[in-house]
Structure 1
Amino acid sequence: MTKSYRRRRLVVATALGAVLMAAGCTSAVDQADQAKANASAKEGGTLTVAQANDAQPESFLSPALGNITAQYAVFETLTQIDTKTGEPKGVLAKSWTMAPDYKSMDLELRDDVTFHSGRKMTSADVIYTIQQVQNPANTVGTRFIAEQIASATADGDHGVKLTFKRALPNVFDLFEIMPIVDQETFANYKDGKQVVGTGRFTWQSWTPGGKLELAKYPGYRDAKNTHLDKIEIQVITDPTAELAAVRSGRVQYAMSLSTLDTRTLSGEPGYALVKSGGAAQELGFDVTQAPFDNELVRQAVHYAIDRDRIVDQVEGGQAEATALPWKTSTPGYDAKQGERYTYQPEKAKQLLAQAGVNGASFSVVVPDIPESVAIFEIVQNNLKEVGLNATAQVVSTTDYDQRIAQRNLGAPAFLMRCSNALSPASAVVSRPELVADKNNSHFTSPEYTKVVDALTGALTDDAQKQALANYNDYFLDQAFALPVLTRSTLSVRSAKVDGITSTIQGFINLDTAYLTD
């Protein structure tokens, strides 16, 4: 997000009687972009997408890798953050009014939205969705933000009144990744046979491990600007096979190529690079298990990791080495804090000796993603150099997501790939490795709860900057999660397709994608 929106989220209105209002209309820039796309777009056709991860229809309320391309084609959210301006813009919400103290909000919904069943969306569906996000049984990452909503009541069919337990300027982070679900069919989403949303495309069929087929929804309120007839998402787990599929023309958009192949292919005639969202690659520790119950050992691992080598060899230089879990463009980011743990293997050995640890062996859970496996191989060699023996326990992404949700990774250490698009104030109450209560590392302390509360409660620029600095210092000292790098997500499209965009959270938006010939 841009700094302007960050600041507005964090600063209480200076005029106490003022309210924040934003209309959900389309800007002149958006209209110009749309007109340009319409002029060059080929109507109809099927876009074929390749990704390594299978769809996860049980996880639409909580970001999942398997849903990164389909979710915003089938579903819509109340608002989205404009990736150019950093300001929230309406999607299903037509307008909103935020109270000056950020403790209540009135939403006005669009009155022309229908689910794919043909039923009109109403305020009851928004309230139902909020309740499902709040329900612990659904294990939704943003539940900790949603739990701050004390009440959600209908004001007619297209009005929703929200009251918050505390000031909640980061509510737009919740709206961004909370697709509005159909209360009549939500219970059927899990098996993937009946998935009903409000987006431009309907969920037609899903063959687990094979492919997902989406089709244009003719009843969409703006169907004339939906150019594709169909979207076919194929699951190709082998990056080499995915590369071959793109080169042959069988696939027009590839999500899961290796970083090297992505950079190489995108530089060739007929292909283009697509950047989206952002992620933090981290190594986490279960602080209840030896040897990581000792913070000196955790700090030693920090010094043992050659982050620059990982950035160069795995990411091809398209990433930033950092010991902090935030993008370096985050307002208040302190480069000195981010560089606190440089590659110093001798210092790592000294800390291990001080901790009385020599030759410890342990397993590391690694999601079955080429990037994660490649990062582990370098980490493994780094740790071996300082006397620690790590072995990989590679698990499927579905198994990995379940372990994350259950807060039980099943090993003393684990590699994580976490979205870092959220503001720090939202991240520390939603990212599973950062929350103060029941994080993946089983780390807890009164001091950590205190710095998290201070960060989420800061409402002025100065207070936010100080709270973030204090949080970072404590996070770096305790070292229960070890950020390695942050990066944008890279994918490749053929020149035969255009109009692919992404949300600020990194979900791919195929809404207005089109074939060019």
Structure 2
Amino acid sequence: MKIKKLALVAMSAILLTACTGTQKGEKKEDGSKKASSDTIRVSMFTEIDSLNPFTMTAGDTETIMDNVFDGLYDTDEKGELVPDLAESYKVSEDGKTYTFQLKKGVKFHNGKELKAEDVVWTYDQLAGITSKEPKNSKFSVVESVKALDDYTVEVGLKERFNGFIYLTLKPIMPKDYMDQDKNPVGTGPFKFVSYNPGEILKLERNEDYHRKDHIPSYKNLEIIKMKDVQTVIMALKSGEIDVSPKLSAEEKAQLEGSASFVQGPQNLVQVIGLNNKVKPFDDIRVRQAVNYAIDRDQIIKTVANGQATKLFSSFSPALPKFFNDLGELYPHDVEKAKALLKEAGYENGIDMNIVVPSNYKYHMDTAEVLESQLKEAGIRVTIEPIEFETWIPRCYKGRDFQATIIGFIGYMDPHQILQRYMSDNKSNYINYNNPEYDKVMKEAATSPDEEGQIKGYKAAQEIIAKDAGSVFIQDPDSITALRNGVEGLKLYPIQKMNLEDLKITN
């Protein structure tokens, strides 16, 4: 089971939890509910934006729904690609043709056997080959896809694109099945049962899961919509909740003695997105001023309790091979910020509206610290909290904002992380536009050797950083709490949770 992550997630607070097999739970003698060995409950702060892999956007949603779906390939704890629905693949010498050999005997949840036609149909839909309406812009590089036999698929690319292999983590769906919006069907470790929007998503164990050594040991997985982290913490302490991921360092401290922890860098970039087409952020000097005005060290100390990595570009050192260490590109310097604003014609400072997904306390806390810091440089901040469900269509898709705080999950493929800021990318929510950036990204994506790829992606990081395309703040540690008696969770360099491997020991 993989979590491949589409472009975005606002520093999610998906909270995995386990409770009784009944709705109310079985009372223990001390009055708390006793956890059941057949049900794990998951609470998440954001609404599931779609049950259909073709239309889901939020990373939180993918994290959950990837329990229902599989791709041709997956990733392991080291970030290496491992076979999933495919057994192997070959690449032509020119890098334009990929041939995949599928596993035999894999069943969809509706009983249909996975065949090459299902992969062909899924990729055709994603690339828009037949419909001319692609479901995913990343698949625009795909020119053709065909079944050579029932278990062999050939994908032809328009040009060499080194990042294509990472796209094989995308979910495969049964051919012509058109009810994914209401009754999703995949091949994953859990099957869809029901969904009540705003309340609960119910899944159950897939007894026929093709990865036999990863068939869940528990029967039911329930995802509950919640907003209050403190309520979840109390429930974990009382034994009602099994696992709480994406906790802050402060929340971790509250759970000491009641839980064990899985913690490490999560390959996530928290950013103050600056709309490059909206005044005053259409001026590079103003964007640079904001960068100089903030104190990243204080933000990390205050919001992350020191448990985060400081960033000056759109890339985390969690992927060291491709990371470009630019040093202290924008050291905290209030006077420098004031001088840049004056040079840009804003001697009396500027007004700055920051839209923040209110579902995420981490971002709200960051905004409050920023308000105080930016004030010293003459930048008057107004914080506008909105629900994440509103943030997606307004800010991410509609680009209707001046500034916003968000967190973007990472991928194993550097191209997927950095392509967001290419001028023609539909996900370029900040309206960043630099032909040189586009050029080096293109060169990296089509380079026949790794050296060329590394050179191009490092150059891209430097270009957008020096352009002050936005304000890149930090990569906070991922902290997941497991109540005493729950084990099996692993740490990955991307947002992924091996929920099928969890075990409740008491």
**TM-score, normalised to structure 2's length?**
0.85
What's the CA shift for 1:169? 2.2
Residues 395 and 401 of structure 2 are in contact (CA less than 8 Å); yes or no, is this contact kept in structure 1?
Answer: no
Question: 2:145 pairs with 146, 149, 152, which one?
Answer: 152
Matched, 1:166 2:159: yes
Matched, 1:241 2:244: no
CA deviations on 1:48-92 (whole Å, 9 max, x unpaired) are 2222123233463455243254223211111012223x4321000
What's the CA shift for 1:234? 1.7
Give the Cα separation in 2 of the matches to 1:155 and 1:92. 17
Residues 261 and 479 of structure 2 are in contact (CA less than 8 Å); yes or no, is this contact kept in structure 1?
Answer: no
SS at match of 2:204: strand
SS at match of 1:75: coil
Matched, 1:412 2:405: no
Quickly say closer, same or farther: Cα 1:216–1:468, change in 2 above 3 A: closer
Residues 354 and 403 of structure 2 are in contact (CA less than 8 Å); yes or no, is this contact kept in structure 1?
Answer: yes
What's the CA shift for 1:133? 2.6
What's the CA shift for 1:405? 4.9
Give the Cα separation in 2 of the matches to 1:249 and 1:333. 41
Report what 1:79 is aligned to.
73
Give the Cα separation in 2 of the matches to 1:137 and 1:229. 41
Give the Cα separation in 2 of the matches to 1:137 and 1:415. 34
What's the CA shift for 1:376? 1.0
Give the Cα separation in 1 of the matches to 2:331 and 2:93. 43
Question: 2:386 pairs with 395, 398, 413, which one?
Answer: 395
CA deviations on 1:430-472 (whole Å, 9 max, x unpaired) are x3x4565441122223333222222323333442343234323
What's the CA shift for 1:278? 2.6
SS at match of 1:70: helix
Q: Alignment identity in percent? A: 25
Report what 1:231 is aligned to.
221
Residues 437 and 444 of structure 1 are in contact (CA less than 8 Å); yes or no, is this contact kept in structure 2?
Answer: no
Question: 1:463 pairs with 452, 476, 483, which one?
Answer: 452
Give the Cα separation in 2 of the matches to 1:220 and 1:470. 43
What's the CA shift for 1:99? 1.8
Report what 1:132 is aligned to.
125
Matched, 1:202 2:191: yes
Letter in 1 for 2:162: P
Matched, 1:175 2:168: yes
Q: Higher mean Cα deviation, 434-443 or 95-104?
A: 434-443
Letter in 2 for 1:506: Q
Quickly say closer, same or farther: Cα 1:309–1:139, change in 2 above 3 A: farther
Quickly say closer, same or farther: Cα 1:180–1:513, change in 2 above 3 A: same
Quickly say closer, same or farther: Cα 1:83–1:223, change in 2 above 3 A: closer
Matched, 1:302 2:291: yes
Report what 2:480 is aligned to.
491
SS at match of 1:73: coil
Residues 162 and 445 of structure 2 are in contact (CA less than 8 Å); yes or no, is this contact kept in structure 1?
Answer: no
**TM-score, normalised to structure 1's length?**
0.83
Report what 1:114 is aligned to.
107
Matched, 1:102 2:91: no
Residues 228 and 514 of structure 1 are in contact (CA less than 8 Å); yes or no, is this contact kept in structure 2?
Answer: yes
Quickly say closer, same or farther: Cα 1:445–1:133, change in 2 above 3 A: same
Matched, 1:385 2:376: yes
SS at match of 1:117: coil
Give the Cα separation in 1 of the matches to 2:192 and 2:332. 48
Give the Cα separation in 2 of the matches to 1:276 and 1:471. 22
Give the Cα separation in 2 of the matches to 1:455 and 1:94. 28
Quickly say closer, same or farther: Cα 1:137–1:263, change in 2 above 3 A: farther
Higher relative helix content = 1
Report what 1:215 is aligned to.
204
CA deviations on 1:334-388 (whole Å, 9 max, x unpaired) are 32x1421111111111111111113321311111211111111112212111111
CA deviations on 1:82-134 (whole Å, 9 max, x unpaired) are 223x4321000111111233211100111111111111111122122223333
Give the Cα separation in 1 of the matches to 2:46 and 2:493. 21
Q: Higher mean Cα deviation, 221-230 or 232-241?
A: 221-230
What's the CA shift for 1:425? 2.5
CA RMSD in angstroms comes to: 2.5
SS at match of 2:501: coil
Give the Cα separation in 2 of the matches to 1:92 and 1:502. 22
5 Å matches for 1:318-397?
318-329=307-318, 330-335=320-325, 337-357=326-346, 358-368=348-358, 369-397=360-388
Q: Higher mean Cα deviation, 126-135 or 347-356?
A: 126-135
Q: Structure 2: give runs of 5+ residues left out of the alignment.
A: 1-34
Letter in 2 for 1:419: I
Report what 1:11 is aligned to.
none
SS at match of 1:493: strand
Give the Cα separation in 2 of the matches to 1:215 and 1:510. 12
Q: Higher mean Cα deviation, 365-374 or 450-459?
A: 450-459
SS at match of 2:261: strand
Residues 73 and 84 of structure 2 are in contact (CA less than 8 Å); yes or no, is this contact kept in structure 1?
Answer: yes
Q: Higher mean Cα deviation, 309-318 or 214-223?
A: 214-223
Quickly say closer, same or farther: Cα 1:133–1:268, change in 2 above 3 A: farther
SS at match of 2:67: helix
